[in-house]
A and B are shown apart, each in its own frame.
Chain A
C-alpha cells in the first residue's frame, strides 16, 4: 500500500533561518511523484514543489528545495530564509497510480510550521 508519513506535527523556526520538514514515503511503484503543498490558515492548498522519481537532481523553486533520497524513501522540504508568511500547515503528497488509471494524490498528516520573529 502507498503511504506518506510526516512525523513532525509541529515545528518552530526563527525568521530568516532555514527549516527542514520531514517526509517519508512507501510505494512499490517504480515511477512516482512527490509533492509539497502549503495550507495557510485561510484554507487554500498551494502547490510548492514537485519531484519525480526519475529526476536525478533535487527540485528547487525559489526558497523551497526538496531533499530527495530515493534509497531512504525520503522527500524532505527545505525552506531557506524563513519568513513570517511561511507560517502554515505543510503537506507532503504522493501521486498514486493504482495501476495507471489515475493520478490521485495521497497526503501525509501535515506539519504545522510557526515562524517566530
Chain B
C-alpha cells in the first residue's frame, strides 16, 4: 500500500459525459502528478500540482482539467468524454519540498475509466 488513494476504482460512463477522479496523496506530500495509461498512448504525464498550484502540464487535453485543494487532495475532471479517453488514470504523490531534489513518486492504485 503506497498510501495514495484514488476513487473510484472503476468508472463506466457514456460518450459526452463528464466525470471526476479523486486522489488523496500520502500524508505530508505536497505534489500530485496525474498520468494516463492507454493502449495507444502508453503511460503519459498529464499535469502536476504542488501545494495547490499548477506546476507543470503535459499532454493534457483541453477537455480535461485538474485542481488541488487546500487539504492537498486533487481532482481530475474529464468532460465531453470520447471512446479514446478510456484508460487507466494514475495519481502519484511526492514530497517535492526542494524542486532540485528528486523525491520518489508513490503511485495510487489507479482509476480505470471505460467510455462506452
Given that A100-B99, A101-B99 are contacting pairs, would A47 and B104 also be in contact in the complex, using a CB cutoff of 8 Å?
Answer: yes
Count contacts on A: residues with CB < 8 A to the other chain: 23
Residue B105 is within 8 A (CB to CB) of chain A in the complex: yes
In the complex, chain A residues 32-55 whose Cβ is within 8 Å of any chain B Cβ? 33, 37, 43-45, 47, 50, 52
Given that A102-B56, A104-B58, A106-B45 are contacting pairs, would A45 and B90 also be in contact in the complex, using a CB cutoff of 8 Å?
Answer: yes
Count contacts on B: residues with CB < 8 A to the other chain: 28
B-side interface mostly = strand
Whether A107 pairs with B100 at a CB distance below 8 angstroms is: no
Whether A107 pairs with B109 at a CB distance below 8 angstroms is: no
A residues sitting closer than 8 Å to B (CB atoms) are 33, 37, 43-45, 47, 50, 52, 91, 95-96, 98, 100-110
6 contacts between A and B (CB under 8 A): A33-B102, A43-B112, A45-B90, A45-B107, A101-B55, A102-B56
B residues sitting closer than 8 Å to A (CB atoms) are 2, 31, 33, 35, 42-45, 48, 55-56, 58, 88, 90, 92, 94, 96, 99-100, 102-107, 109-110, 112
- Nearest first, the 4 A-B pairs at minimum CB distance are A102-B56, A45-B107, A107-B43, A104-B45
A33-B102, A47-B104, A96-B45 given; 16 more Cβ-contact pairs under 8 Å:
A44-B110, A45-B90, A45-B107, A47-B107, A52-B102, A91-B43, A101-B55, A101-B56, A101-B99, A102-B99, A103-B103, A104-B33, A107-B43, A109-B42, A110-B42, A110-B43
